[in-house]
Amino acid sequence: MADLGRILISGGHGMIGSNLDFGIKPDKSEFDVTNPESISLACDKYNPSAILSLSSINIRDSEENPLNAYRVNSIGVYHLAREAKKRGIPLIMLSTGSVFNGSIKDSFNEDSFPNPVNIYAQTKYIAEVFALGSSDRNLVIRTGWVFGTSKDSKKGVFDKMLDLVMDKDEIIATYDQEGSPTYIKDLVTEIKKLISRNCSGIYHVANQGRASAVEFVEEAIRYAGRNIRIKRKTVAEFSSKVKRSPSECLNSNKIKLRSWQEALEEHISSNNKKFKKLF
């Protein structure tokens, strides 16, 4: 079992990494995934029990600078996988439901075959191939549309929408793409469990159920007890530069989490003082 306290985390100060309560989180200046020498020196210094790869160029920046996206998202994982193999330790990589492509009612499990449709998704799938091909000890964790991150971390799209539920009278949300809203608290818990159990291969970690952005916002509005207009748009209208799969919904043959609605209710009623559940 990998010692959680000695896991070396790349991207440890990003949206996901900031919510992890374990591991070693050097700055990029000390642990640069695009620089094999930097990786080796960091491993020499910290003697990690495993490496957790969270460094990632996001979907929009990937389209604007594909070369940098491949350098960080794909080749960075290749460098990490080589170093982990050399030291006889596992690599854990966080991936995404974006690697799939299907109709709006499709969903994907660990055995489904990826078919990435944009630069970001392509870089993540290539990284998965590098990670899994390097060692049978390595672990790929695909997750969904994350919400509920701490106030000190960078906000993703769904946390920004939750803020707008309280601050605005109208919200723009898309209706023609569905995914798996996933509570950061549940994601972190499962990451720790998978590492502690020495799991390897591919695992999907996402709250059960599916939703469009419109449906997610509608549920948040209901819990918040607000009267807000939702301006419905297509994904193409909202972000015409990036091609997206109509479905990024994740199912799992290995893990069953609670529903995203239950998780959202807990987040709104317990973790965000601005919200108030109506009974």
Residues 238 and 128 in one domain: no
Q: Quick: pLDDT tens for 64-97.
A: 999 999 999 999 999 999 999 999 999 999 999 9
Residues 37 and 113 in one domain: yes
Would you say residue 250 has pLDDT above 80?
yes
Residue written as token pair 């509608």: 218
Calculate the alpha carbon distances from 258 to 140, 187, 235 in Å.
Answer: 21, 11, 27
Residues 162 and 237 in one domain: yes
Q: What is the pTM of this model?
A: 0.94
- The whole domain housing 38 covers 4-146+181-205
Please give the sequence-ordered ranges of beta strands (E in DSSP) within the chain, or none if there are none. 7-10, 50-53, 91-96, 139-143, 145-147, 170-174, 178-179, 181-183, 201-205, 211-212, 229-233
Residues 87 and 188 in one domain: yes
Phi, psi angle pair for 18, to nearest 5°: -65, -20
Percent of the chain with pLDDT over 90: 81
- Asked, for residue 253, whether it belongs to a domain, the answer is no
Residues 26 and 121 in one domain: yes
Q: Quick: pLDDT tens for 160-203.
A: 888 888 778 899 999 999 999 999 999 999 999 999 999 999 99
Residues 111 and 155 in one domain: no
CATH number of the domain to which 66 belongs: 3.40.50.720
In the chain, how many domains are there? 2
Q: Quick: pLDDT tens for 17-28.
A: 999 999 999 999
Residue 168: its pLDDT value, please?
A: 84
Residues 134 and 58 in one domain: yes
Look at residues 260, 266, 259, 167 and name the one whose alpha carbon lies nearest to residue 213. Answer: 260
Percent of the chain with pLDDT over 70: 95
Residues 265 and 229 in one domain: yes
